[in-house]
Amino acid sequence: MTASSDCISSQSSLTRLAPLEAVLFDIDGTLSDSDPLHYHAFREMLLEIGFNGGAPITEEFFIETVAGKHNDDIALALFPDDLPRGLKFVEDKEAMFRKLAAEQLKPLNGLDKVRKWIENRGLKRAAVTNAPRENAELMISVLGLSDFFEAVIIGGECEHAKPHPDPYLKGLEALKASKDHTFVFEDSFSGIKAGVAAGMPVIGLATRNPENLLMEAKPAFLIKDYDDAKLWAALEELDKASSTLSV
């Protein structure tokens, strides 16, 4: 597919949402490139306990086993024979992550620009994440978005976390928004899968995860960050479609 035809398909995939009502955001890897902090915490703490024969975990292992997944599933994957130990490990790891995040977390490129675009149109917005609530609220606060989000939905507080659609459906319910007039920003395979399963187009952020893996989850299109021209071409077309409807 050429760049121009990719751009056209990106635009048309959002125009059906006109008039746009709401935007839902994942947090980790979507609002901030936080995966390196998670990877560092996992790698150092697993090294301390001699996991994997004392060899440090690779980024590939991190992406396959950890990225975007709920902590219960991570605990089971890391400690299949001792779930209580796994749950305690991921709890301690999250505490280490919060220390790192408080000092090092930065917004993804262009986040402020897309935030203003959303605010200027009076759109509803919620954060929907598999992160523990303590992590989610810290990250949102550090990024200066505490007053931006109207709701924060935690996968572990739903019947099923991502990749199930429950968290995104709960997000729509919290905002009293329709899936037919809402889209999602996500960066992981499980997150994109959850948004698509909830019936919404998902704009995938290729922050860290391989593009071919993300495409398997069927996003509307992928962007590098919020400065990506592909995103703004699609939003411009959506604005035009919404204006036509209001005339």
* 26: annotated active-site residue: yes
CA 183/CA 176 separation, integer angstroms:
14
DSSP string, 132-173: -HHHHHHHHHHTT-TTT-SEEEEGGGSSS-TTSSHHHHHHHH
Identify whether the C-beta of residue 138 lies closer than 8 Å to the C-beta of residue 101: yes
CB 186 within 8 A of CB 67: no
84 by Cβ neighbours in 10 Å (0-12 / 13-18 / 19+) ranks as exposed
- C-alpha to C-alpha distance for 137 and 152, rounded to whole angstroms: 8
- 28 in active site: yes
Q: Which two tokens stand for residue 132?
A: 């523990």
**Axis crossing angle, helix 3-15 with helix 229-246, rounded to the nearest 10:** 40
Dist. CA 45–CA 154, nearest whole Å: 25
Instruction: Judge if the upstream peptide bond of residue 163 is cis by omega within 30 degrees of 0.
Output: yes
Q: How far is CA 12 from CA 27, 66, 185, 225, in A?
A: 26, 33, 17, 20
Catalytic one of 28, 73, 166, 187: 28
Annotated catalytic residue within 6, 26, 81, 225: 26
User: Catalytic residue numbers?
Assistant: 26, 28
